């Protein structure tokens, strides 16, 4: 199965089709078992080098890529802006060329500029994975969200998915919309007008400015924080006012589907976009998303790594590799 993975990079959900997504999620099903074993390591990527380049803050994505690489026995190196030559004025191009000379097999890049991973991919020969670029895309987040949805609801098709919060600045919203559209689910974006991009319907989503209509019949409710690091000037009157109108609590789920699940990519701002009790409720699959993050990133590293592609996922997830 893995022999058929046709991509050299993972830059954008827009590059994938249903088959690619299923291939990644099916491989992740096997890798999630690895993370539940007493010894959470397989030799699949022994001798391979993964460089994580994080030019923006990250907890979940960076840690899970690091764990994913290590659980596959790759050599993993983390570089962040503050400890690197970037803080000494080096250009992205020079950083890439320097890293390329060290012969990594895979580079994961998070950057504040939309398109930065695409730029890097054109400059280097190794595989590049987009770990989040500006407000553009966060493909592995959408893939791990898809994994958690499929696990909870058994499908990615025919669902009503409400994505609520700061849509304008959210790469998570864009990648999720692209992925869920591939499978024929209905995606609703819900935000105040000031946090909803213009022409967003072009992404194939329905636009809502009111929680009640957005959550009506929803199978999945995905909440997003205000991306304050990307917001210039006041886009909401006050946090309290925003939380009152767009913060989701258990009572808002009354008209959602009986099986509705609540998701959040993290980091959560409890009491703003999500009521603390809802975050900790049985509806919440937020920690399942985190667990899925490691497995999905193992699957992505495995599928992109050269030479191991000929291995079946089952062999890759076995102790013998
Ligand atoms: N962790 C997600 C991202 O990197 C969501 C967020 O930061 O709000 O885009």
Tell me the pLDDT tens digit for each residue of 66-121: 999 999 999 999 988 776 777 777 888 898 888 889 999 999 999 999 999 999 99
pLDDT value for 285: 98
pLDDT value for 212: 97
Q: Give 114 Cα–ligand 1 centroid separation in angstroms.
A: 14
Q: How far apart are CA 49 and CA 45, in angstroms?
A: 8
State whether the Cα torsion 190-195-199-203 is positive or negative: negative
Distances (CA, A) of 88 to 60, 85, 204: 26, 5, 42
pLDDT value for 167: 97
Q: Please give the number of the atom of ligand 1 that sits closest to the Cα of 172.
A: 9
pLDDT value for 228: 85
Ligand 1 near 136 CB (within 6 A) = no
Q: Give 265 Cα–ligand 1 centroid separation in angstroms.
A: 6
Share of the chain above pLDDT 70, in %: 96
Residue 209 has pLDDT above 80, yes or no: yes
Give 164's contacts (C-beta < 8 A, 6+ positions apart): 189, 190, 191, 211, 214, 215, 221, 222, 223, 224, 246, 248, 273
Q: How far apart are CA 71 and CA 302, in angstroms?
A: 11
Tell me the pLDDT tens digit for each residue of 223-235: 999 998 888 777 8
Residue closest to 46 by CA, chosen among 314, 311, 321? 321
Mean per-residue pLDDT over the chain, rounded: 93
pLDDT value for 105: 96
**Average pLDDT score over residue span 35-39:** 95
Q: How far apart are CA 301 and CA 285, in angstroms?
A: 24
Share of the chain above pLDDT 90, in %: 83
Best residue among 59, 227, 286, 293 to mutate for probing ligand 1's pocket (most ligand atoms within 8 Å of CB) is 227
Ligand 1 near 112 CB (within 6 A) = no
Residue 191 has pLDDT above 90, yes or no: yes
């Amino acid at each position: 199965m893995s022999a058929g993975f046709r991509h050299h990079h993972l830059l954008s959900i827009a590059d994938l089709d249903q088959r690619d997504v299923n291939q990644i999620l099916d491989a992740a099903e096997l890798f999630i078992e690895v993370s539940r074993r007493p010894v959470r390591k397989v030799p699949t990527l022994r001798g391979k080098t993964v460089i994580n380049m994080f030019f923006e803050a990250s907890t979940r994505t960076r840690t899970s890529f690091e764990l994913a690489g290590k659980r596959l026995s790759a050599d993993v190196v983390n570089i962040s802006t503050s400890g690197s030559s970037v803080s000494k004025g080096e250009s992205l191009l020079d950083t890439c060329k320097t890293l390329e000379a060290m012969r990594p097999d895979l580079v994961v890049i998070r950057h504040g500029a939309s398109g930065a991973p695409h730029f890097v991919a054109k400059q280097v020969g190794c595989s590049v994975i987009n770990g989040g670029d500006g407000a553009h895309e966060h493909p592995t987040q959408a893939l791990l969200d898809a994994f958690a949805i499929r696990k909870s609801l058994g499908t990615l098709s025919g669902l009503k998915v409400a994505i609520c919060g700061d849509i304008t600045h959210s790469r998570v919203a864009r990648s999720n919309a692209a992925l869920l559209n591939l499978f024929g689910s209905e995606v609703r974006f819900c935000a105040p007008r000031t946090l909803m991009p213009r022409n967003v319907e072009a992404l194939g989503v329905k636009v809502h400015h009111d929680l009640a209509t957005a959550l009506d019949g929803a199978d999945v409710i995905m909440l997003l924080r205000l991306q304050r690091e990307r917001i210039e000037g006041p886009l909401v009157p006050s946090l309290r006012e925003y939380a009152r109108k767009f913060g989701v609590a258990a009572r808002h789920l009354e008209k959602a589907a009986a099986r509705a699940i609540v998701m959040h990519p993290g980091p959560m701002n409890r009491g703003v976009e999500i009521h603390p009790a809802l975050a900790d409720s049985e509806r919440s699959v937020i920690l399942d998303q985190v667990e899925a993050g490691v497995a999905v990133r193992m699957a992505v590293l495995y599928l992109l790594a050269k030479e191991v592609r000929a291995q079946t996922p089952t062999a890759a997830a076995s102790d013998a590799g």
